[in-house]
Amino acid sequence: MSTALIVTSSANGEASVSNRIASAFTDRLRAIDPAIHIVERDVGAHPLPHLAPENVAGVRGEARTDAEIAARDLSDALIAELDAADLLVIASPMYNFGISSTLKSWFDHVLRPRVTFRYSENGPEGLMTGKKAVVIESRGGFYSEGPAAAMDGQEAHLRNMLGFMGIADVTFVRAEKLGFGPDAVEAAVAAASEALDSFAAAELKQAA
Ligand SMILES: Cc1cc2nc3c(=O)[nH]c(=O)nc-3n(C[C@H](O)[C@H](O)[C@H](O)COP(=O)(O)O)c2cc1C
C-alpha cells in the first residue's frame, strides 16, 4: 500500500461523525505504514461546482469555452488523484436517504467516458482497476435490516458508481443510529473504528 486518497463529504465540519471516523482511520494507516502517502480531498468543506449548462461539456463532451476548460481541468486533477491511489477511502454521510450532493459532484467529475470507464463490445468497462476502496457510511437511522433497509439509497448507489469505474473490491463500514443520542454515537464510532482497524492491519500487512 503506498497511496491512499481520502474523500470526505460532510456538511457538518468539526461535528461530522464520518469525518471523525475517517480521520482516525487515516491516523491508523499512518501508524501502521509511516511511508504511506495520504491525499485528502474534503469536498464537504470545499464543494466542487455542480455540472451545469455552461460547463458540462468539459466532462462529458468537448471543452471549448473557459468554463468547459475549467471543468475539464478539475476533472483531470480529481481523476489523477484517484488514479494514483491504491486505496480509496470515501466518508459518506447519508443525507435524505442518499449520498451528499457534494460527494455526488465528485463522482460527476470522475466518472468520465474513455477516461475512467468506456463502452466496449462487451458493454461498459471500468478503467480504474487494481484498487481497493473503503466506504464509511454515517446515518442518523438504522438501515442494515428491517423496514428502513429498502430506503437505503446510499450503499447501492456508491457500489454502482465505484463498480462502473472498475473498483469492485469495496469494504463498507456503517456507523448507524447516530440520531439516537450520544451513547449511540460513541457505540457506532467505536464499532466502525474497530472494523477499520482490522481492515488496516490486514491490508497493510498483506502489502508489506
Ligand atoms: C441534510 C441532512 C439530511 C439527513 N438525512 C438523513 C436520512 O435520510 N437518513 C438518516 O438516517 N439520517 C439522515 N441525516 C442524519 C445524518 O445521516 C447523520 O447526522 C450523520 O451523522 C451525518 O454524517 P456526518 O456527521 O458525517 O455529517 C441527515 C442529516 C442532514 C444534515
Atom 2 in ligand 1: which residue has the minimum CA distance?
Answer: 95
Closest residue (by CA) to atom 22 of ligand 1? 93
Counting the structural domains of the chain, the total is 1
Q: pLDDT value at position 204?
A: 74
Is the dihedral angle over the CA atoms 72, 99, 202, 38 positive or is it negative?
positive
Q: What is the CATH number of the domain that holds 112?
A: 3.40.50.360
The answer to whether the CB of 17 is under 6 A from ligand 1 is yes
Name the residue range of residue 95's domain. Answer: 3-207
CB within 8 A of 208, min separation 6: which ones? Answer: 33
Average pLDDT per run of 10 along the chain, which is 208 residues long? 93 97 97 96 98 98 98 98 98 98 98 96 95 98 96 98 98 98 98 96 72
User: Which residue spans within the chain are E strands per DSSP?
Assistant: 3-8, 37-42, 87-93, 117-120, 123-126, 132-138, 169-175
Helix (H, G, I), strand (E, B) or coil at 125: strand
Q: Looking at ligand 1, which atom is closest to the CA of residue 142? A: 11
